[in-house]
Amino acid sequence: MIRLLMAVLPLLALLAGCSESYVPKPRGYFRIALNEQSYTRYNAACPVSFDVSQAAKIQLLQATGAGDSCRFNIVYPRLKATVYCTYLPVRDNLGALQQAAYEFAMTHEMKASAILRTPIEEDAQRVFGQLYTLKGEAASQVQFYVTDSLRHFFRGSLYFAVKPNSDSLAPVVDHIREDLIQLTQSLTWQP
């Protein structure tokens, strides 16, 4: 009888401890530690210069001369993000360049839950344009274009090398968006 009680008692204690129902934890995301934003001046092979984040690296793709188009990337290797940049000279085609930049941002309209437009106006440097912030599951989260309305046109678009997920990417998008605002505010045109 004592042996039976000694065998049953631990089983009863084990069953009594399992009375709570199991509730799974909600799915979460890794915390992304972002660097403090600090900038250095970048003099591009194109006729532009601007402040760029120290966390980013510049990858020159094409430079065919001061008057021609020029492409380069601003790469954030740790964040798996790239800002694809293109410089184009204005040759009586400013309206077409602005329309193309607008249409490119709107190609993400199907996946975006909202597209916010922020005007860019830096009168002292003659820098004017638009910053597009795309909310939702769009492939490109931030795009911009700037121009001096006479000779220069510069555009950029942010993409990630991961599947778009607006919830997990939101802190990184906000961080890089601030970098792009700094870029447009500090941008100067070279002759």
Task: Dump pLDDT digits (tens) for 38-50.
Answer: 999 999 788 999 9
Where along the chain do its domains lie?
Answer: 39-189
pTM: 0.80
Phi-psi region of 77 (alpha: psi -120 to 50; beta: other; left: phi over 0): alpha
Domain covering 39-189: architecture: 3-Layer(aba) Sandwich (3.40)
Task: Dump pLDDT digits (tens) for 122-157.
Answer: 999 999 999 999 998 888 999 999 999 999 999 999
Q: How far apart are CA 48 and CA 153, in angstroms?
A: 10
